[in-house]
Amino acid sequence: MKHETINSITLPKIGFGAWRIGGNSSPDHALDSKSLTALRSALEVGYAHFDTAEKYADGHSEELVGEAVRGSAKKREELFITTKVTPSHLKYDDVLKACENSLRRLKMDYVDLYLIHWPGTGVKYEETFRALNKLARDGKVKHLGVSNFNLKLLKQARELSETPIFTNQVPFSVSDRSYVDNGVLEYCQQNDILFTAYSPVDEGKLSSNKTLETIAKAHNASIFQIALAWVISHPRVITIPMSFNLQHIKENYEAAEIELTFQEIELLNGQ
């Protein structure tokens, strides 16, 4: 597995995203067995970074991630757990309460990374970061970050955070370069901020890409593995694909070992 090291923390290039684990915007307990099987498989394969949010299945995703971790052979300190606070909980007291609720659902004493999930309308980020900084000082969260922040908001977050902003988690794939075009990727690379790509295979919508198909054949790989290999070929970029399919979970993890040639990367850059 390839890694990125930032602020003395080393993270695998490919982690496991827990969106749809336990349901979508509300809990779906009919998915519990399938969700736990996926999480346990990911842990067995070797994933060490798990990304969830209070918004995912209205907190049930956090509960299942915590259950899978407790039932695994992995020690807590061997794993990196990320969760997120929703835009409706960005006032000072709400941030503190949201984090406590996430820790309760995860049944953990701390999370490694706590993100603002989305920018909120009319949010006073000075107030939000006053709470986030307290959580970091108190050891409830090890690192702070943001998600879906444009360049202006990312710069503001850096100014308000007492600790270095660890990441900006945004959509990024062969078919979505919006956070390249708006300057966020370059800014992250220049300022030692991880750029965490979600939806790295565009939710499986890449099947008609002929360039991906050609490169995949050359590597005896799937087009989704090539898409992931391209995403993580960028410096300071990690990604968090999700799948319920046990074979895809393994293949996603193994995509980190694919070495694309300079020419292949350039071809995909031009897509």
What stretches of 124-271 show up as alpha helix (H) in DSSP?
A: 125-137, 151-160, 178-181, 184-190, 210-219, 223-232, 246-254, 262-269
In b/e form, how buried is each residue of 222-256, taking b as 16+ CB within 10 angstroms? bbbbbbbbbbbbbebbbbbbbbeeeebbbbbbbbb
First to last CA, the chain: 26
Amino acid making up residue 206 = L
The CA–CA distances, whole Å, from 115 to 112, 155, 207, 271 equal 10, 15, 32, 31
Question: Which of 245, 211, 246 is closest to 230 using CA atoms?
Answer: 211
Q: Which of 47, 56, 125, 253 is catalytic?
A: 56
Active site residue 187: no
Q: In this structure, are strands 3-6 and 9-12 parallel, antiparallel, or unpaired? A: antiparallel
* DSSP conformation class of 179: H
28 C-beta neighbours (distance < 10 Å), count: 15
Task: Return the H-helix or E-strand segment holding 96.
Answer: helix 92-106
* DSSP conformation class of 173: B
DSSP per position, 29-58: GGGHHHHHHHHHHHHHHT--EEE--TTGGG
Looking up tokens 């399919």 gives: 245
Catalytic positions, written as ranges: 56
